[in-house]
Amino acid sequence: MTSSRDAILAALRRAPGGDVPLPDLVARPAPRGALATRFASALEAAGGRCVRVADSAALEEALAALPAFASAQRRCSLLPGSGGPGFALDEVDDVHSLNDVGFALLPGEFGVAENGAVWVTDAGLRHRAIFHLAEHVGLVVPAGQIVDDLHAAYARVELAARGFGCFIAGPSKTADIEQALVIGAHGPRSLTVFLREG
């Protein structure tokens, strides 16, 4: 007696096919502005927000205008001179005490235009949980550090060099079996990426 599994596998083996050519992954030069525009659109489609800033002063102005930042009772920043007064994350001994952080301003290494994701690592970071525990997260990414797609992104990732790294695209999202989308249930309620020119 033939099992369903065997029947399915036999049908697949009989099916016409052959090798499918791999996509051409030769780097396509794209204008820098085009990558940033694609990145912003993809991030917004994922529920995040992209704000372009010229320099540190413009970043401070953009932060002050952001309701999530202005209303945060407890803030931290890993960008020297940005994000105003807050507590020093590297002085926190117990990661559980980060459960009430309202806004965290953190560095991102590079962004991906294809899906709006930002690569973050634990470089210079004592508690990597801050990426996921803060109620609202701001990532600062150099505007010139946007790559086209995940193929280009993975070429830049050095897994052996760091103890932790991940892509973050938008705020925390989950959907149950009824497909009711909930934002912020398991992590940040919002993600703002600041693309900084200078």
Give the CATH number of the domain where residue 62 resides. 3.40.50.10420
> Is the distance from CB of 55 to CB of 82 less than 8 angstroms?
no
Residue 1 within any structural domain of the chain: no
pLDDT at 59: 93
Residue 71 within any structural domain of the chain: yes
Distance CA 102, CA 122 (A): 20
**Helix/strand/coil for 154:** helix
Residue 12 within any structural domain of the chain: no
**Helix/strand/coil for 11:** helix
Residue 83 within any structural domain of the chain: yes
**What total of structural domains would you count in the chain?**
1
Residue 115 within any structural domain of the chain: yes
pLDDT at 93: 83
pLDDT at 178: 74
Residue 122 within any structural domain of the chain: yes
DSSP code of 129?
Answer: T
pLDDT at 30: 66
DSSP code of 114?
Answer: T
**Helix/strand/coil for 13:** helix
pLDDT at 35: 92
Please tell me the pTM assigned to this model.
0.82
Q: Which residues of the chain have pLDDT under 70?
A: 1-2, 25-32
pLDDT single digits (tens) 10-57: 888 888 777 777 777 666 666 667 999 999 999 999 999 999 999 999
Cβ neighbors of 33 (< 8 A, separation 6 or more) are none
Residue 14 within any structural domain of the chain: no
Q: Give the other-Cβ count within 10 Å of 45's Cβ.
A: 12
Residue 23 within any structural domain of the chain: no
> Is the distance from CB of 44 to CB of 170 less than 8 angstroms?
no
pLDDT at 138: 95
Q: For residue 125, what are the domain limits?
A: 30-196
**Helix/strand/coil for 155:** helix
